Structure 1
Amino acid sequence: MRNVALFYFSMKYFIELIVDLSPRPRVIREGYLRIGLATLLLAMATFLHKALRKTPLRPFSTALLNSSLATLSFMLFYYRDPIREPLGSDPNYIYAPAEGRVVSVEEVLEPKFIGGKALRVTIAVGLFNVQLLRSPVSGQLRYHFIENLPASSNNYLGFVTDDSHKVMITHMWRFGKNFLPVPLGSKRVSTLRTDAGAPVKVAQKIGACGFGTGTIVELYIAADGIVQPVPVIGMKVRAGTTVLGRFTPKND
């Protein structure tokens, strides 16, 4: 009876997450397949446990049930989609594009999109951070670029918004071997939901990180403007909520 009740409440929570019947965090669409498979596994494990509970195989069925429940719980947590709203209305604010920790802030040359000096803010996204990417500024998407790097586990995704900010995000694997499989049916480490020419709003969902590994998100800001204050190494950030700084063009 307890297992049936557990299965019922798990299914109820899953449905509420998908259709947003409650204020609880939702899940991102990139996780629908895995959450569905984990739910099916839990259902099968529940019925198997019920059938084998009076046999010598009960320890096996109990372990399978607990494992499937843990898998579903992890998927719901990993693909969570909490509410994120910009904290300010200043159009020159630049928000964090990903959730994690700032690990580097440095001036570099970015020849491909910006064509010169830029401030690069590097954010490490861990397994337990929200896996969504959000637009750091508003504007019109000018470029949509995907490049497969020589290493089989690498990928490079970039976009540039309007000229007033010239902000670009690159996105790549960084932490060695994968802890979990790459996304089913896809060799890309991440997905983008935006197209070239489309308008983007600040904090808009623009993609998701790859499944099952640490990810590095790099934000490049053109040197023809001043960012104040400069982001601090070690600071924790939330995509679409944490203000990295205010961009002021040098000619203003």
Structure 2
Amino acid sequence: MKIHREGLATILLTFVVLALINGAVFYFSGNTLTLQIIAAFSLALFLFIISFFRIPNREMKHGESLVLAPCDGKVVVIEETYEPEYFKDKRLQVSIFMSPANVHVNRNPISGQVKLSQYHSGKYLVAWHPKSSTENERHTVVIGNGKTDVLVRQIAGALARRIVNYLKPGMEVTQNEEMGFIKFGSRVDLYLPVGTQVSVQLDQVVRAGQTVIATL
């Protein structure tokens, strides 16, 4: 397991703040129970922050016709819907909700060329809200492989305040490479051609780079 570079500053800041708090409690309080409670809470919080930015070692799947999960989480939407930003027509939407306990690295679901990479500021509705796809802070990426285009949308949730995306238009990207990162609870939407064979079900838990979302 590795720690994602996006978390290094957050982990260091958390360590400094918790060390100052524990130092102050130790200096000003003579209550041993209070010290133990604060120390236990600080350790649990610090370990949670480290866990949030983890990159677990895992064996990835590959396949030119496969759309792989771009993130860890639970499938919360599978439906046909109108996509207004890029395609401007009906698409098959598959949405994956990431809780704060999930790995938050986002990966390319297919290989191909980046046709769009666009950030949008917005609201911070809960990630499962129907309007979060179009009203929340989000980043839209479209990857084309010569046969079809797949849209991936990173969506910030009620806790998330920063979306990181590494892709630029014109880049050639490889399936399962890092696409970006969303800090804390969030969601990723996939928009596929209508009629695409979906391999997942609602409420299914998926893993980035391992779970096949659909076959093109």
Taking structure 1 as the reference length, what is the TM-score of the superposition? 0.72
Residue number in structure 2 paired with 1:159:
141
Residue number in structure 1 paired with 2:188:
217
What value does the CA root-mean-square deviation take over the aligned residues?
2.4
Residue 244 of structure 1 and its aligned partner are, at CA, apart by 1.1
Identity among equivalent positions (%) equals 26
In the alignment, is the contact (CA less than 8 A) between 1:134 and 1:205 conserved in 2?
yes
2:155 to 159, 168, 172: 172
1:72 to 39, 43, 46: 46
Query: CA distance change for structure 1 residues 48 and 148 in 2, over 3 Å: closer, same or farther?
Result: closer
Which structure is higher in RCO with an 8 Å CA cutoff and minimum separation 6?
Answer: 2
In the alignment, is the contact (CA less than 8 A) between 2:74 and 2:205 conserved in 1?
yes
How is 1:166-205 mapped onto 2 (pairs within 5 angstroms)?
Answer: 166-174=149-157, 177-178=158-159, 188-205=161-178
Residue 120 of structure 1 and its aligned partner are, at CA, apart by 0.7
Measured against aligned partners, the alpha-carbon deviations of 1:12-64 in whole angstroms (never above 9, x if no partner) come to: xxxxxxxxxxxxx1111221112112333455567667768xx7243333333
Query: CA distance change for structure 1 residues 35 and 114 in 2, over 3 Å: closer, same or farther?
Result: same
**SS in structure 2 at match of 1:37:** helix
Taking structure 2 as the reference length, what is the TM-score of the superposition? 0.83
1 or 2, which has the higher strand percentage? 2
Residue number in structure 2 paired with 1:96:
69
5+ residue gaps, structure 1, are 1-24, 183-187, 248-252
**SS in structure 2 at match of 1:142:** strand
Q: Give 2:56's aligned amino acid.
A: P
Q: Give distance in 1, aligned partners of 2:167 and 2:116.
A: 10
5+ residue gaps, structure 2, are 126-135
Q: Is 1:235 matched with 2:211?
A: no
In the alignment, is the contact (CA less than 8 A) between 2:112 and 2:172 conserved in 1?
yes
Residue 196 of structure 1 and its aligned partner are, at CA, apart by 1.8
Residue number in structure 2 paired with 1:3:
none
